[in-house]
Amino acid sequence: MVDRLANSEANTRRINIVENCFGTAGQPLTIPGRVLIGEGVLTKLCRKKPKARQFFLFNDILVYGNIVIQKKKYNKQHIIPLENVTIDSIKDEGDLRNGWLIKTPTKSFAVYAATATEKSEWMNHINKCVTDLLSKSGKTPSNEHAAVWVPDSEATVCMRCQKAKFTPVNRRHHCRKCGFVVCGPCSEKRFLLPSQSSKPVRICDFCYDLLSTGDMATCQPTRSDSYSQSLKSTLNDVSDDDDDDDSSD
């Protein structure tokens, strides 16, 4: 089915519409063999609070962006190669329902659909696209993925020392290895994580010690089952801060 659509005028037209919605700020999306599988609005759990994002699933990439005018204009385009993606379902917890983790070596985050049916359809289509890509390329699924950041609202004190309270002066920081919210003194060190950056990035002292001794796996928390429990109050966060803060501490 995908192969038949690849060179169809309807598929080319749909992709052109997506390109136009992102405008000059977005990357070109039309390449030979690329097919737009589907699109929809998902709630992405950002650092500050959950926010609606427009997602587009292609047969080789996942694209998402901020909604400026629904179906007309989007910005802050993100492109994720599907061959690096793994997904894990998240158990429902309170207001956080129908969610799953999208995990890649460079960035990982949680998204939530409006219904269980939508969640199932998204996960099935993503898994099929990933499986087809890996089958054609002969590559193996990626075992490495970036940590999912714990939202700011879930930590009133440093998650490592359990002492430092966060204030407008004592800022929150995120360890790029474990995703924990930590204070400045607990995250003064930098370490090179090539999959995330070409420069050394901020990590907590705990992860630094483990990485320095080669015990890298211990730093990586597993959140596929318990993630929603630790985030159950974020939907009530009223912060007005914009988007993901990808480059901030």
Distance CA 1, CA 232 (A): 40
Distance of CA 56 to the CA centre of its chain: 14
Domain boundaries along the sequence of the chain: 1-137, 152-213
What would the pLDDT profile of 123-174 be if each residue is shown by its tens digit? 999 999 999 999 998 888 878 899 999 989 889 999 999 999 999 999 999 9
DSSP assigned state of 150: P
Distance CA 179, CA 228 (A): 15
**What average pLDDT does the segment 107-130 reach?**
96
> In this structure, which CATH number among 3.30.40.10, 2.30.30.40, 3.40.50.150, 3.40.605.10 belongs to the domain 152-213?
3.30.40.10
| CA Rg value for the chain | 19
Query: Is it true that domain 1-137 has CATH number 2.40.160.100?
Result: no
Which band of pLDDT confidence, cut at 50, 70 and 90, is reported for residue 5? low
**What average pLDDT does the segment 228-242 reach?**
37
Which band of pLDDT confidence, cut at 50, 70 and 90, is reported for residue 176? very high
Q: Given this chain, do its domains 1-137 and 152-213 carry the same CATH topology? A: no
